[in-house]
Copies of this chain bind each other. A is one copy, B any other.
Amino acid sequence: MPQFLDTSADDFEMGFAALLGAKREDSPDVDAIVADIIADVRARGDAAVLELTAKFDHLELAADQLAFSRDEIDAAIAEVGEADRAALELAAERIWSYHKRQMPSDESWTDSAGATLGWRWTAVSAAGLYVPGGLATYPSSVLMNAIPAKVAGVQRLAITVPTPNGKINPLVLLAARIAGVDEIYRIGGAQAIAALAYGTKSIVPVDKITGPGNAFVAAAKRRVFGKVGIDMIAGPSEILVIADKDNNPDWIALDLLSQAEHDETAQSILITDDAEFGRAVAAAVEKQLETLERSAIAGPSWRDYGAVITVTDMDQAAALSNRIAPEHLELCVADPEALSLKTVHAGAIFLGQYTPEAIGDYVGGPNHVLPTARSARFSSGLSVLDFLKRTTLSHMTPAALRAIGPAAETLAISESLQAHGLSVRARLDALND
C-alpha cells in the first residue's frame, strides 16, 4: 500500500515530512575501490583498462579493439528494424529542434564610462558520454546526452559503453550514429570514467563527462570532478502528478507506474483535490500491477515510496509540489498553464492530460536528464549550456580607465592588495602626464 495523506488531517505535516525525508538512495560505498581503479588507469593506461574490462565484462580485447570500428557499427545498426529506426530519427529531430533554441547569444556593449563589456560563449572541446550496459541500456539517453553536446558545437564526442560478454544493443550504436558521436569505446565502470578523464594511449582525454551509471560510475564521476566537468549525479527517478477528478484514473495510474517501473527506489506521488479520485487511481495501479511486465520492480516502488495526497485546493497542491521539487511534474487539471506558474521548483512540467511523462522521455523535445532528490530547487535538466562555457570580456579606453580606475585603486588599497592598486595607478599617472 502506498501512503495516503490528507492535508486536513492533524498528522499530515509529520507524514509529509517523512515522505520528503525518505532515504531512497541505495548506493553502496564503493569509493575506495573506485579510487584504486582510477589510480590504476592513470598509472598503467590501456593495460589497466583492458585488464579491468576482462575482469568485469568478461571480454578480452586488444588495445586496438577498444573502439568500435566503422564496419562494426555499420553491421550492428543494419540489424535495427524500420519502426525502431524511424522512431529514433523522429526523437532525434525533435530533441535537436528543442535544444537548438537553447543556444545563448554573445553580447557586447559600450557603457557610459566608455568601457566595452560583454561575454562570449564557446563549446567545450571534447566531451565523453557514459552509457550503461546490460539491462538499463537506453538508446533514448544516448540521444538526450549527445544531441545537446553536438548542438553546442562540441568537436569531439566520445561514448563509453560496457559490452558484457561482447554484447551490445544495436539501438545504442544507431542512436550514437544519428546523434553524430565521433568515437565509441566498449568499456564501462570506473575504468571508463578514468580513461575519459585522464586519457590513455588509445583514448584521448575529454573535458566534460556526462551520462548515468551505477554506483561505481557515480563515485568515479565525483572523483574526477575538477579535472573534468561532470553533469549531475542522478538519483532514483520521481514523478508527481497533480490531477483533479476530471481525469481517467487508468491513465494517471499508468503515468505513476511509468516511473515506478524504472527502479524499486523510484517514487511516484499523486496529489488530488478529490479523495475518491485518489482511491480510484490507487485501485487502478493495483490492477495494472497484476499484469505489468516489470511489476516486480514497480510494485515495491509504489508500495514503499508511493503516496496519494488529498488537498483542499490546487494552491495547496502547488505549495506541496514546491516542497517536493519533483523531477517530473504532470499537471492534469483544468488550467495547467495557470497552475504551472505556481509550481516553480520542478525539473520538467507536463501540461494537460494528453501529455504523459513518457512523451518527454522520448520524443517531446526537452531533455529527459533531470534533477532528482529535490535538487530542482537549485538545478536544471541537461541542456546545451552544459557543453558551453562563457568568457567575460572587458576593454577599457584611457577615458574609461580615468572614469572608474580610481575607485578600483581605492578598493584595492582597502583590501591591502597594493600591486592591484599600482597596476591601475601606473596607467592613470601615465595618462595624466
Q: Considering the chains assembled together, what is the distance between the CA atoms of A119 and B349 in angstroms?
A: 9
Q: Which chain B residue shows the least CB distance to A353?
A: B427
The reply on A207 being an interface residue by CB < 8 A is: yes
A415–B251 CB distance below 8 A: no
Residues of A within 8 A of B (CB-CB), count: 122
A59-117, CB < 8 A from B = 83-84, 86-88, 90-91, 94, 97-98, 101-102, 104, 107, 109, 111, 115-117
Q: Considering the chains assembled together, what is the distance between the CA atoms of A322 and B337 in angstroms?
A: 45
Chain B residue numbers with a CB within 8 Å of A91 are 407-408, 411
Name which of A1-9, A10-18, A188-196, A376-384 contacts chain B: A376-384
Chain B residue numbers with a CB within 8 Å of A202 are none
Give the Cβ gap from A32 to chain B, nearest Cβ, in Å: 14
The reply on A44 being an interface residue by CB < 8 A is: no
Chain B residue numbers with a CB within 8 Å of A97 are 111
B87–A410 CB distance below 8 A: yes
Q: How many copies does the complex hold?
A: 2
Contact partner of A258 (CB less than 8 A), chosen from B122, B336, B417, B427, is: B417
Known: A122-B344, A361-B420, A391-B376. A396 touches B292 (CB 8 A): no
Name which of A45-53, A306-314, A364-372 contacts chain B: A364-372
Q: Considering the chains assembled together, what is the distance between the CA atoms of A395 and B356 in angstroms?
A: 9
Known: A377-B124, A389-B380, A394-B366. A358 touches B420 (CB 8 A): yes
Contact partner of A208 (CB less than 8 A), chosen from B107, B111, B378, B430, is: B378
A residues whose Cβ falls under 8 Å from a Cβ of B: 83-84, 86-88, 90-91, 94, 97-98, 101-102, 104, 107, 109, 111, 115-117, 119-120, 122, 124-125, 135, 138-140, 171, 207-208, 226, 228-229, 233, 248, 250-251, 254-255, 257-258, 260-262, 288, 292-294, 298, 336-337, 340, 344-367, 371, 373, 375-381, 383, 385, 389-398, 400-401, 404-408, 410-412, 414-424, 426-427, 430
